[in-house]
Amino acid sequence: MASLRDIETRIGSTKKTSQITKAMQMVSASKLTRAEQNAKAFVPYMEKIEEVVEAIASATKDSGHPMLTSRPVKKTAYIVVTSDRGLVGGYNSNILRAVTKKIAERHASKDEVEIIAIGRKGYEFFNRLEYNVVDSVIGVSDHPQFSEVKDLAKRAVGMFTDGNVDEVYLYYNHFISAISNEATERQLLPLTDLSTASAASAYEFEPSADVILETLLPQYAETLIYGAVLDGKASEHASSMTAMQTATDNATELIDDLTLLFNRARQAAITQEITEIVGGVAALE
């Protein structure tokens, strides 16, 4: 059995740990509030630009724009959104597991895959597995601005339009609630999931629908990437808050167990001392 001093030391260190995890939980909760607001505020813009793109695509069905045209797939790019730090529960492992599973299903060789990593954890993970990481952004702020991912988004779109890759998939954790998020896949390019049922007559195009489409489609794809980063950040802060709350609860439970053990050990020590005193008195009689 551990000595009283050892138990007392463990209780003290566990209390300090619980104070740290409690503080980290509060910080994550504060960040989550703003991140959730940012993600939700961006949704109406995404929905509107998608509506406009669908209307233009409906008016230019035969435009043959490369971003709307499927082609034989020889190489695929995966944009993977992860965090830069740990202590976020299963946030990173869930998305990385989903990506690697799909890659294994779709591809016979790593040569058919190119990785674009947003976040240090994803960058390090795919480098360690010797995937071809062609682009990355590390150190995205807790409340990202479009300027932080703009250049990467343009390069990702350029890889497709230049023919370097034939498909681009986007992977991120979709924020559902403070205690729930979902690893999500979205085909970014080609944009084959656009609905063409929108009424193009609701818009007048100047100078022409084709010219507008040429400018708007890359912006739309870049918008989807930025929206995924915002969504992912909200999920990241929620996962961090939940992980730190669990750690705090576990520390509290451990402190209770150690305190009980300490009290039992102290009681045993006192009993032992009383027994020795009684035994000594009896020996003197």
User: What's the pLDDT band for 254 if we cut at 50, 70, 90?
Assistant: very high
What is the spatial distance between Cα 236 and Cα 23, in angstroms, rounded to a whole number? 17
**pTM for the complete prediction?**
0.87
CB atoms within 10 A of CB 163: 11
Query: Which token pair is 125?
Result: 């993970």
What is the spatial distance between Cα 88 and Cα 105, in angstroms, rounded to a whole number? 27
pLDDT, tens digit (0-9, with 9 covering 90-100), for 87-129: 999 999 999 999 999 999 999 999 999 999 999 999 999 999 9
What is the spatial distance between Cα 112 and Cα 51, in angstroms, rounded to a whole number? 33
Domain residue spans of the chain: 4-14+244-284, 22-243
pLDDT at 264: 87
The bridge status of strand 180-189 relative to strand 167-177 is antiparallel
**SS3 label, residue 61:** coil
Rounded to an integer, the average pLDDT of 171-192 is 91
The alpha carbon of residue 112 and the mean position of all alpha carbons in its chain are separated, in whole angstroms, by 25
Query: Which residues are bridge partners to 117 per DSSP?
Result: 80, 136
Residue with tokens 């233009």: 56
Looking at 3.40.1010.20, 3.40.50.2000, 3.40.1380.10, 1.10.10.10, the CATH number of the domain 22-243 comes to 3.40.1380.10
Cα Dmax for the chain: 116
User: What's the pLDDT band for 1 if we cut at 50, 70, 90?
Assistant: low
Q: Report the amino acid identity of residue 241.
A: M
H or E segment to which residue 109 belongs:
none
Considering the chain, what is the average pLDDT of its residues?
A: 88
pLDDT at 60: 66
| Nearest to 94, CA basis, from 174, 39, 189 | 174
4-14+244-284 fold:
Helix Hairpins (1.10.287)
